[in-house]
Structure 1
Amino acid sequence: MTTLPDRPHTALLVIDVQNGVVAGAHNRDGVIANIRSLVDRARAEDVPVVWVQHSDDGLERGSESWQYVPELVRAEGEPLVHKHYGDSFEGTELEAVLAERGVGRLVVTGAQTDACIRSTMHGAFVRGYDVTLVGDAHTTEDLSAYGAPPPAQVIAHTNLYWQWQSAPGRQGGTVDAADVTFAPIPVG
């Protein structure tokens, strides 16, 4: 149902599952296991897996904190998009990578829920993509000391509001990893 013409394919987006980003994340191991399962399924179904890796002053490119977690290994030929902003589309080649593969629908996983996940979902949606959030395959750290709700509530709220996201010609949605389908969202 994407508004992007001639883009019938789906891609799995793995955002910022880096050592320094998820070190203290809520349900870290369970989320990474779900992402790994989705990566394996996507590869088996010949669905593009696109990796996104953040760097900034606090997450220096090339450092141990910047590296992807050892449980998730990018396969040769799978694109890696480097970013400096929350929205994975801003200042990157992500749009070109997706266009080259005919992708109009994204299945989103990674970290952090209340930053790069939300920014990327909204960025994709306004650019015309259908966007499915995998509810048990994204996480965040505890920022309650700064006034944020506890991580479980941040994740639950994001899952709730994205479940009902829609706009003309675009559809959002939230599903658990076990229920992910890489087929396009049916028109209806």
Structure 2
Amino acid sequence: MTTLSDRPNTALLVVDVQNGVVARAHDRDAVVANVAAAVDKAREAGVDVVWVQHNSADLAADTEPWRYVPELTIGAGEPVVQKRYGDSFEDTSLEDVLAEHGVGRLVVAGAQTDECIRSTLHGAITRGYDATLVSDAHTTEDLTAYGAPPPEQVIAHTNLYWTYHEAPGRTAGTVRTADLDFAVADLGAGREDD
């Protein structure tokens, strides 16, 4: 249903599951395990896995904080997109990578919920993609000291509003890792009430 013509394919977009990003993340181990399960399901289904890696002063290239967590392995030939902003599309090669692979539908997992996940989901929808969030495969750290709600509430709220998000000619929604089936046409069709 994407508004992008000639883009029938799906990709799993894994955003910023880097050592320095998820070191203090809420429910880190369970979320990383769910991301790994989603990656396995995508590979088994022949679906492209695209990795996004944030770069900043705290996440300098080729440092331990910048590297992906050891539980996740980037496969040979799987694209890795470097980014500097929350939205994985902003000033990156992501659009070119997705166009090259004929991708019009994204399944999104990773970190951080309140910044890069939300920005990337909205960036995808505004650019014409269908975008499904894996509801138990994204996380954030505790930012209550800065006035944010506790991380479990940030995650629940993001799942709630993305479950019911709408845009003309595009689909949004959420799916749990256990229910993720890349053969299903509308991955967010089994809307959940997190």
| Shorter-normalised TM range | over 0.9
The answer to whether the Cα contact below 8 Å between 1:11 and 1:182 also exists between their aligned partners in 2 is: no
Could you state the TM-score of these two structures normalised by the residue count of structure 1?
Answer: 0.97
Residue 147 (structure 2) pairs with residue 147 (structure 1) = yes
Partner of 1:92: 92
Partner of 2:40: 40
Partner of 1:120: 120
Secondary structure, counterpart of 2:32 in structure 1: helix
Could you say what the CA RMSD is over the residues aligned between the two structures, in angstroms? 1.2
Deviates further, 51-60 or 130-139: 51-60
CA distance in 2, matches of 1:76, 1:104: 22
Q: Which amino acid aligns with 1:185?
A: D
Could you state the TM-score of these two structures normalised by the residue count of structure 2?
Answer: 0.94
User: Identity over the aligned pairs, expressed in percent?
Assistant: 68
- CA shift, 1:139, in A, is 0.2
Residue 72 (structure 2) pairs with residue 80 (structure 1) = no
- CA shift, 1:181, in A, is 2.2
Deviations along 1:26-66, one digit per CA (max 9) or x if unpaired, are 01000010110111111111100000000111211111000
Secondary structure, counterpart of 2:106 in structure 1: strand
Q: Which amino acid aligns with 1:176?
A: R
CA distance in 1, matches of 2:97, 2:68: 20
CA distance in 1, matches of 2:82, 2:23: 20
Gaps in structure 1 of 5+ consecutive residues: none
CA distance in 1, matches of 2:101, 2:61: 27
Secondary structure, counterpart of 1:99 in structure 2: helix
The answer to whether the Cα contact below 8 Å between 1:10 and 1:107 also exists between their aligned partners in 2 is: yes
CA distance in 1, matches of 2:73, 2:167: 35
The answer to whether the Cα contact below 8 Å between 2:113 and 2:138 also exists between their aligned partners in 1 is: yes
The count of aligned residue pairs is: 187
Partner of 2:192: none
Secondary structure, counterpart of 2:7 in structure 1: coil
Structure 1: 4+ residue segments shifted above 3 A: none
- CA shift, 1:185, in A, is 2.1
Partner of 1:129: 129
Taking the TM superposition and a 5 Å limit, the aligned residue runs for 1:23-38 are: 23-38=23-38
- CA shift, 1:180, in A, is 1.3
Residue 150 (structure 2) pairs with residue 181 (structure 1) = no
- CA shift, 1:120, in A, is 0.4
The answer to whether the Cα contact below 8 Å between 1:2 and 1:169 also exists between their aligned partners in 2 is: yes
Deviations along 1:73-94, one digit per CA (max 9) or x if unpaired, are 1010000000000000011110
Secondary structure, counterpart of 2:171 in structure 1: strand
The answer to whether the Cα contact below 8 Å between 2:18 and 2:69 also exists between their aligned partners in 1 is: yes
